[in-house]
Amino acid sequence: MVKPTTPTTNKWWQSGIIYQIYPLTFADGNGDGTGDLRGIIQRLDYLNDGNPNSETCLGIDAIWLSPINKSPMVDNGYDISDYLDICPVFGTLADFEELLTEAHRRGIKVILDLVVSHTSNQHPWFQASKSSRNNDKADWYLWQDPQPNGQFPNNWLSYFGGTGWTYCAEREQYYFHTFNENQPDLNWQNPAVRQAIHDVIRFWLDKGVDGFRLDASSVYSKDPDFRDNPMKYGSSDKNAYNNQHHLYDKNLPENHQIIQEFRQVIEEYDDRALIGETFIDSRLYDSTIFYGNKNNELHLPFGFEFPFSPWHPGYLQREIEKKELITPAWAWPTQFLDNHDIPRHLSRWIECSLCSHPVSIAKAAAALLLTLRGTPFLYYGQELGMVDNMDIPADRLQDRAVVATETGELPPPRDGARTPMQWDDLPHAGFSFGANVTPWLPVHKNYTEVNVKAELAAPDSILNFYRQLIRVRQGSDALKWGSWKTLVVYPHEQLAYLRETATETVLVLINFAYEKPLKDLIDLELDWQRWTVLLSTRFEAGHVVDLPDNLVPFEVSILNKV
């Protein structure tokens, strides 16, 4: 169960901390209320100013930009109409090149979102494809005749609601879309499609980008016979998509071939990374398939354990142990709490009994994320303790891609977790650098307290805790590379684990109890009593302490064997 203590390679995407930027709401450089590339450039120093002793920067190693390509924005960029250009909303190719140069100058790698399971229906490829059955792009998408009775070609559904088939009068055929009808799926059986996307990948690698996050990377390939998916017996999920076994429209064997080819393209270049939007199922016994049997697919697959977990030590520990178990020894896990598709973790995890302790929970969650084995991903604003904005008026919602389900019910929009980054207490949280323009989505009303400027100035803030944690992690081989081993067995109200290399041992203690725990943290079976504090909510960093036999409420202590 204990995985090797040293990685086989020493790659930036293994030791680094990756920060996801949602460009529409990170920073507005041109004062039009919508985030853009110039805004990001102006805020790079906050992310990492290149000075290891900086008092003001977060200190992350890479940014992942949600899509910035040309798009009609039906799915806010996840519907691309030109892969080789920047959406004017965000700026120009020259702005992007400047962002790349400025990021690299500070030691920040840049990862782009590669959205190629589908294009926008405005993409010239689709415009050509839909025009007739015999043009040169005719089979670049998934076209099928109606059934003889005029019905949809099969029972495949859209993840965003309703059937996955939309009729096109020009061709008298249906096309398939895993997501919105404006996002037709590409036909990955077609070698010309593969070639075109490889060219896209090379275009951005030639510019110097450091890797890609592959959007919807499990649904590239589809059954060539378009067989019906079987239904899941007894399943009654509100999203009908989840009531099917996706035998024929997801995770097909050919999907691996497609990702292997991406990997080959990536390997024509030095030191680039492939990250997949995978849903590693914790019921799996092995996650090798995501990395490839010969370590020839994704460098980093996402698993959604934490987004789908309650804030509960036993539950979280089970998920961590499962991930340790299913990750092959030669492979590298990822860890994340939040992204642009799900409610922010503090909104998910602060139940009534805990709602007076958001700062403590945010710090405990940060400690968990940044002390586990694997590459941590942060989502913009989580380092401030940003929570979902639940007060967005209906006429200001921007998430238009999801559609009503068969029951007529709309899934909750994703806007709450996409509101503007809270920079300071200027109008709209300084999103437009002082310009008083209405932002794309309304700022959370807590911005006068929860913002970068205020939190940098407050020693005990969530932001300063993240900053310290990041430095502690970067300075510790055990936290970066070491094995993970739990010291407690559920039921316990604390997590206690060791991260170890041959030369370093770090003990991590996280208390979930907000009053005296029912069971004391004793008998950790450690032969070592004296520990140096790396970071703690209880002890002064640098002090030497005895192994605590109990923890104060919400205590986080990261200790180094002296």
Could you list the active site residues? Answer: 215, 277
- DSSP annotation string for 361-378: HHHHHHHHHHHSSSEEEE
Token pair of 24 as six digits = 């529409």
Position 214, amino acid:
L
Q: Which of residues 507-536 bind ligand NOJ (CB under 6 A)?
A: none
Closer of 218 and 451 to ligand NOJ (Cβ): 218
Q: Mask 227-266, x = binds ligand NOJ (CB under 6 A)?
A: ----------------------------------------
Token pair of 520 as six digits = 């004391």
Report the sign of the C-alpha dihedral through residues 520, 526, 530, 535, in that order: negative
Is 502 strand, coil or helix?
Answer: coil
Closer of 216 and 558 to ligand NOJ (Cβ): 216
Residue 69: enclosing H or E segment and its boundaries?
A: strand 69-70
Q: Please, where are the H alpha helices in 119-274?
A: 124-131, 191-207, 253-266
Closer of 158 and 432 to ligand NOJ (Cβ): 158
Per CB under 6 A, 78 contacts ligand NOJ: yes
Packed helices 37-47 and 93-105: angle between N→C axes, nearest 10 degrees: 10
Q: What are φ and ψ of residue 20, in 5° steps?
A: -85, 130
What lies within 8 Å, CB to CB, of 358 at 6+ separation is 346, 350, 385, 387
Please identify which residue in 74, 115, 142, 421 interacts with ligand NOJ, judged by CB under 6 A.
115
Q: Are 531 and 511 in contact (CB under 8 A)?
A: no
Please identify which residue in 36, 181, 185, 215 interacts with ligand NOJ, judged by CB under 6 A.
215
First-to-last C-alpha distance (Å) of the chain: 26
Nearest to 403 by CA among 229, 78, 163, 76: 163
Closer of 79 and 383 to ligand NOJ (Cβ): 79
Least distance between ligand NOJ and beta carbon 211 (Å): 16
Least distance between ligand NOJ and beta carbon 44 (Å): 24
Q: Please tell me the count of residues contacting ligand NOJ according to CB under 6 A.
A: 10
Least distance between ligand NOJ and beta carbon 63 (Å): 16
Least distance between ligand NOJ and beta carbon 178 (Å): 8
| Per-residue CA distances from 202 to 2, 8, 265, 402 (Å) | 38, 27, 7, 32
Per CB under 6 A, 75 contacts ligand NOJ: yes
Q: Which of residues 383-402 bind ligand NOJ (CB under 6 A)?
A: 401
Print the SS3 string covering 262-298: HHHHHCCCCCCEEEEEEEECCCCCCCHHHHCCCCCCC
Least distance between ligand NOJ and beta carbon 302 (Å): 10
Least distance between ligand NOJ and beta carbon 222 (Å): 16
Q: Which of residues 268-327 bind ligand NOJ (CB under 6 A)?
A: 277
Q: Are 134 and 113 in contact (CB under 8 A)?
A: no
Closer of 399 and 493 to ligand NOJ (Cβ): 399
Closer of 75 and 555 to ligand NOJ (Cβ): 75
Please identify which residue in 165, 179, 349, 539 interacts with ligand NOJ, judged by CB under 6 A.
179
Please identify which residue in 271, 281, 341, 549 interacts with ligand NOJ, judged by CB under 6 A.
341
Numbers of helices and strands, H then E, in the chain = 13, 19
Least distance between ligand NOJ and beta carbon 293 (Å): 26
Closer of 280 and 401 to ligand NOJ (Cβ): 401
How far apart, in whole angstroms, are the C-alpha atoms of residue 362 and residue 353?
15
Closer of 218 and 494 to ligand NOJ (Cβ): 218
Per CB under 6 A, 415 contacts ligand NOJ: no
Least distance between ligand NOJ and beta carbon 215 (Å): 5
Please identify which residue in 17, 99, 216, 368 interacts with ligand NOJ, judged by CB under 6 A.
216
Residue number of the CB closest to ligand NOJ reads 78
Q: Which residues bind ligand NOJ (CB under 6 A)?
A: 75, 78, 115, 179, 215-216, 277, 340-341, 401
